[in-house]
């Protein structure tokens, strides 16, 4: 065999070897792609389609914002920031002097009102007696008017008879004068009796009017329901409440935060003093993308990892609900999408997650911590 033929044979063998290697490589590549596709499919079916997760999640809680309900001077501050407190613990005290004086005055006014109402009832008895006495006096005076009127009629008859006899000369002028004086006296007595009756009637009417006015005051003479007493009692209760409000207590178990009050400070109603964070009630707001929420429902189980404790301390919870709108919708300056240059941005909707209370007791959290939340879509 010639040298050129040997070279050609060697080239053919080399080409066959390369083709076999290329086929083998393509086979391996196809097998790898198939395995990767199969693995991806299996992962999606077993994991990817079952869980949705986000690291845009933070702890949150409804803190108790404490403020003063009355005007006063801070006389004592019994807590500091980060101090653990129980429900009912005294946090801040205001000087009670003004409130104590106001309560004493309100109680005195209440007692005065009760006595006044009781006086109205006693006065009604007195005025009733006066009305009866005036009516009795008026009847007596009316009888005197009748008697005076009868005397005047007799005097009138005697005067006319004497005047007729005087014309015949049967009586003297002195006798006529005496009869005329009797007539004048009877007339004067009648007029005086009528005046006395009018005066007695006026006194009776005044007594009746006074009793009627007093009756209005005792229309509800029960000191438990009388309007005047009820008003005084309400003011007393308000003063008592204001005194109780000089002691500011914690409404919940929690941790003191953002203390803004200082000793000796003069505070007004609604002046913020401090906050109490009920850390045992902390929940998580997980901001999922809207495209992740198609299968998320209330009651599904959630596993959470905090940056504070790391992977070794997982927390567990359940989906409690969805916020009423996206974060962008409630921002100070909401997006204006009705513009010419509009770019679609995937929105995030806060999902509220309730944490396991027992786990929180062992590993307490604080507000604002970062969390990673993974929702198990198959756990409903």
Query: Would you state the structure tokens that stand for residue 306, as one six-digit string?
Result: 């905090």
> Quick check: 274 and 91 in contact, CB under 8 A?
yes
pTM: predicted TM-score of the whole model, two decimal places: 0.62
* Structural domains of the chain, ranges and CATH numbers in brackets: 67-94+245-272 (2.40.50.100), 99-239 (1.10.287.620)
Mode of pairing for the β-strands spanning 90-94 and 254-257: unpaired
- Cα 109 to Cα 243: distance, rounded to the nearest angstrom: 17
Cα end-to-end span (Å), the chain? 81
For the chain, 380 residues long, give each residue's pLDDT as a single digit of tens: 455 555 556 656 666 666 666 677 777 777 778 777 776 656 555 555 689 999 999 999 999 999 999 999 999 999 999 999 999 999 999 999 999 999 999 999 999 988 887 766 666 666 666 667 777 777 777 777 787 788 778 878 777 777 777 777 667 777 768 777 877 887 888 788 788 778 877 777 777 766 666 565 566 556 677 788 889 999 999 999 999 999 999 999 999 999 999 999 999 999 999 999 999 999 999 999 999 989 999 999 999 999 999 999 999 999 999 998 887 777 767 766 666 676 788 889 999 999 999 999 999 999 999 999 999 988 76
Alpha-carbon distances of 333 from 233, 289, 328, rounded to whole Å: 51, 20, 8
- Longest Cα–Cα distance of the chain, Å, equals 215
Write down the pLDDT at residue 215: 64
Query: Would you state the structure tokens that stand for residue 18, as one six-digit string?
Result: 């390369």
* Helix ranges (DSSP H) in 169-250: 173-217, 227-244
Dihedral sign for Cα 142, 145, 150, 151, please: positive
- Cα 247 to Cα 96: distance, rounded to the nearest angstrom: 9
Nearest Cα neighbor of 353 from 311, 300, 279 is 300
Where are any strands of DSSP class E within the chain? 51-60, 64-67, 72-77, 84-85, 90-94, 247-249, 254-257, 266-267, 272-277, 283-289, 301-306, 314-322, 348-355, 370-376
Cβ neighbours of 57 (radius 10 Å): 25
Query: Would you state the structure tokens that stand for residue 22, as one six-digit string?
Result: 């290329």
- Cα 178 to Cα 182: distance, rounded to the nearest angstrom: 6
Nearest Cα neighbor of 207 from 111, 102, 137, 307 is 137
- Cα 350 to Cα 222: distance, rounded to the nearest angstrom: 59
- Cα 364 to Cα 359: distance, rounded to the nearest angstrom: 8
Query: Would you state the structure tokens that stand for residue 139, as one six-digit string?
Result: 């009847």
- Cα 257 to Cα 275: distance, rounded to the nearest angstrom: 5
Chain centroid, CA 69 distance in Å: 12
Write down the pLDDT at residue 338: 65
Write down the pLDDT at residue 265: 94
- Cα 43 to Cα 36: distance, rounded to the nearest angstrom: 10
User: Which residues, in sequence order, are CB contacts of 70 under 8 Å at separation 6+?
Assistant: 94, 99, 242, 245, 246, 269
Cβ neighbours of 200 (radius 10 Å): 20
Query: Would you state the structure tokens that stand for residue 74, as one six-digit string?
Result: 């801070």
């Amino acid at each position: 065999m010639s040298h050129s033929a040997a070279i050609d044979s060697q080239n053919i063998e080399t080409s066959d070897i390369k083709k076999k290697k290329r086929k083998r490589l393509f086979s391996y590549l196809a097998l790898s792609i198939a395995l990767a596709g199969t693995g991806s499919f299996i992962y999606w079916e077993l994991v990817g389609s079952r869980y949705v997760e986000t690291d845009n999640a933070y702890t949150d809680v409804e803190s108790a914002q404490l403020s003063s309900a009355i005007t006063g001077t801070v006389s004592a501050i019994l807590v500091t920031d980060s101090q653990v407190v129980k429900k009912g613990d005294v946090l801040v005290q205001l000087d009670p002097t003004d409130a104590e004086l106001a309560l004493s005055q309100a109680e005195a006014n209440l007692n005065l009102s009760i006595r006044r109402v009781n006086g109205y009832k006693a006065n009604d008895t007195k005025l009733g007696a006066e009305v009866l006495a005036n009516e009795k006096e008026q009847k007596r005076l009316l009888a005197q008017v009748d008697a005076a009127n009868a005397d005047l009629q007799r005097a009138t008859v005697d005067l006319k008879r004497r005047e007729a006899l005087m014309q015949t000369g049967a009586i003297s002028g002195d006798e006529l004068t005496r009869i005329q004086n009797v007539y004048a006296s009877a007339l004067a007595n009648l007029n005086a009796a009528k005046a006395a009756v009018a005066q007695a009637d006026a006194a009776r009417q005044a007594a009746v009017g006074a009793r009627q006015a007093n009756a209005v005051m005792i229309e509800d003479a029960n000191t438990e329901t009388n309007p005047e007493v009820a008003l005084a009692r309400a003011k007393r209760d308000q003063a008592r409440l204001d005194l109780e409000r000089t002691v500011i207590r914690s409404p919940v178990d929690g941790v003191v935060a953002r203390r803004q009050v200082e000793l000796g400070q003069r505070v007004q109603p609604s002046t913020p003093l401090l906050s109490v964070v009920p850390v045992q009630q902390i929940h998580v707001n997980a901001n999922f993308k809207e495209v992740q929420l198609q299968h998320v429902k209330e009651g599904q189980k959630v596993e959470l990892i905090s940056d504070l404790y790391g992977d070794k301390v997982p927390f567990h919870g359940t989906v409690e609900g969805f916020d009423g709108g996206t974060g962008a919708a409630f921002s100070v300056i909401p997006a204006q999408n009705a513009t010419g240059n509009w770019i679609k941005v995937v929105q995030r909707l806060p999902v509220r997650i309730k944490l396991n209370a027992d786990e929180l007791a062992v590993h307490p959290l604080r507000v604002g911590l970062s969390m990673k939340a993974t929702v198990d879509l198959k756990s409903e």
